[in-house]
A and B are shown apart, each in its own frame.
Chain A
Amino acid sequence: MTTTVEATARSRTAPQRPGFFKRLFAEYGQEIVVLAAIVMLFAIVTMVNPRFISANNLTTIFSGNAYIAVAAIGMAMVIVTGNIDVSVGALIGVLATISGSLAVAGYPIWFAWLAPVVVGMAVNAIIGILVAYARIPSIVVTLGALSILRGGLISVTGGTWITDLPPDYLIAQKQIFGLPVPLVFMVVLTLLAAFWMRYTAFGRSLYAIGGNAEAALATGIPIARRTVAVFVIHGAFAGLATILFATQLQVIQSTVPPNLELTVITAAVIGGVSILGGSGTVIGSTLATILFATIGSALIFVNVSAYWLRAVIGLLILATVLADMLRRRGRGA
């Protein structure tokens, strides 16, 4: 966790700045590795089966998983501050049900879209306050929140699906400038968040908190308030992810993909966010989401049984983590 603090300090103060590519690799090493993996995978699978790169399949890969990438943006911020959230999957399920019910009940469409964002922020404000002011470790708070949200979801919906969604509500199936909306959401939100974390005082303070909380406090960063804020922002991203998730099909199921929270955490971590806090970017987390989606799709195209999908992803995660560890050690960290 000290490496990034050092790295950023170096890039700001070093008298002779090292070459552009050297700096790029020092700061975005993990992101570059993940991007290279995606490109290689595309090249290999397309050689085996050219239909892999068809517009149809690309839409499936990018749009179908955009909601995971959006949720991973907020998760990356939370993890950068040295916290974690295991409840985000259940939260997305609850928010999707709220949003869909409002849409079906005839409320204005914009209200059905806004509600999950606001409720997501409110729920995570409570979580953030428990973490920052009651000083309960975030994994404990969010474990509890996971139970509460998951139980709440089932008892409210009773396991029934929401159907008859108004066509205007289904934003994830629409296009802007000829591009699928989820793709646009994913790219724009990733860039905005990356810019915010890199160039604003608030964004940079998140790294300071995760890197060394005591030092951050000494420099006058209000840690508790920032921690609550970061959870609230994470809640907003969970709400935005919900909009994409809830509107991608004609129905809203009362369940979310199992282990969604772990998928989101994994995306953030594989993208280079150190679980110890203090380093990582949201560009990495989005790239990692795309990598997982590409792997999943690639297996189908090279005719590997879908039942092996998770084993292959697990193996790749492990390989990435080990490579990252060896890379860090190589730098003397």
Chain B
Amino acid sequence: MKLKSLIRHETFLAVLLVVVLIVLSFQSDRFFTIDNLLNQGRLMTEIGLIAIAMTFVIATGGIDLSVGSILGLTAILTGVFWQNVGLPLPVAATAAIAAGTFAGFVNGVIITRFRVPPLIATLATLALYRGLAEGISQARSVRGYPEWFYVLGQKDVLGVPTQLWILLFAAVVASVILAYTTWGRTVYAVGSNEVASRFSGLSVEKTKLALYTASGFAAAVAAVIFVSRVSTTRSDMGTGIELDAITAVVLGGTSIFGGRGTIIGTIIGLCLIQALKNGLSLAGIKGDGTIMLIGAVLILAILASNLFERSGTRT
């Protein structure tokens, strides 16, 4: 029954995506072109990477609001390590990603060791990490990165935007881990019933610690891609991206209470949001109208899937 309702939500969402794609391609003949679609893939990579990690986090019943700030902090550190400290750019970027991953690890420690609810813990570090980014940068931006660095965010590999390969790779690896490994099962178990999981001998704390660390890592990688895509570093990068990522995850059918959710759902949710953003702007509707529509789609999709599920449970 549970599997059935899962399939239902994602099927429902996939159908919705197809309908949206068809409608949008009638609205503008520039929408359904390979170039445009690939470019949209480029634009959704950063949110995508974060949303994939967020799927795991939310599936355990947690949440990570600090990812946008980790993104900003990592971006600033990349610039500072390279320009002010004078490290070679690859080393600087790696060091910054390590720092961002560590920021995620700190979240995990606060949540597992001190038993602070994830919402509060990451709300606090949201302020802290963004504050560190602002303090370190002193509102100065870093520009003038070497040309080769832009391959990551602005160029193609085999005709597909470089970062889209990274997103695809991450999505495939994450789906396999979540769906087919013992560890993935542990994630669902922790989300469904944490106490029972602990009594079953599952290492609940270790799993959570690993997930928040991974979430920091995903945000950090997204940061370097972001910097490469926009050719500059600013401390306000990634502000609000946590809400976009959570929207994609929840739209994709992951239960905010944990225990349920798939990577494919998240990816469909992402595509749906990006298609709406792009298609509507091509059709001449301003970005603000699109944001409104995404909000409405989020509420309606969850409402619809709730109704499906309830009718399923009754019969």
Q: Which residues of A contact B (CB under 8 A)?
A: 84, 86, 130, 134-137, 139-141, 143-155, 258-259, 262, 265-266, 269, 275-276, 305, 307-315, 317-318, 321-322, 325-326, 329
Quick one: which of B116, B256, B290, B303 contacts A321, CB cutoff 8 A?
A: B116
Q: Which residues of B have CB within 8 Å of A147?
A: 247, 291-292, 294-296, 298
**B134 on the interface (CB 8 Å rule)?**
yes
Quick one: which of B65, B129, B302 contacts A314, CB cutoff 8 A?
A: B129
Q: Mark B280-303, 1 if CB is under 8 A from A, else 0.
A: 000000111111111110110011
15 further A-B pairs in the complex, CB-CB below 8 A; given A139-B63, A151-B295, A329-B115: A140-B299, A151-B288, A151-B290, A151-B293, A152-B292, A262-B65, A265-B123, A269-B123, A275-B120, A307-B135, A308-B134, A311-B131, A314-B126, A315-B128, A317-B128
The 3 residue pairs across chains A and B that have the minimum distance between CB atoms: A314-B128, A147-B295, A311-B131
Quick one: which of A136, A149, A266, A329 contacts B123, CB cutoff 8 A?
A: A266
Is B239 within 8 A of A143, CB to CB? no
Is B131 within 8 A of A309, CB to CB? yes
Is A308 within 8 A of B290, CB to CB? no
Total number of residue pairs linking A and B with CB closer than 8 Å = 146
Is B117 within 8 A of A143, CB to CB? no
State the main secondary structure of chain B at its contact with A. Answer: helix
Count class of interface residues, chain B: 35 or more
Q: Which residues of B have CB within 8 Å of A155?
A: 286, 288-289, 292
A154–B286 alpha-carbon span in the complex (Å): 10
Is A144 within 8 A of B298, CB to CB? yes
A305–B137 alpha-carbon span in the complex (Å): 11
Quick one: which of B114, B121, B128, B292 contacts A148, CB cutoff 8 A?
A: B292
Q: Which residues of A have CB within 8 Å of B114?
A: 322, 325-326
Q: Which residues of A have CB within 8 Å of B290?
A: 151
Nearest-Cβ distance from residue A278 to partner chain B, whole angstroms = 13
A150–B296 alpha-carbon span in the complex (Å): 12
From 117 to 139 in chain B, residues with beta carbon under 8 angstroms from any chain A beta carbon are 117, 119-121, 123-132, 134-135, 137-139
Quick one: which of A314, A315, A329 contacts B130, CB cutoff 8 A?
A: A314
When A86-B243, A134-B306 are in contact, do A148 and B296 touch as well, CB less than 8 Å? yes
Q: Which residues of A have CB within 8 Å of B296?
A: 144, 147-148
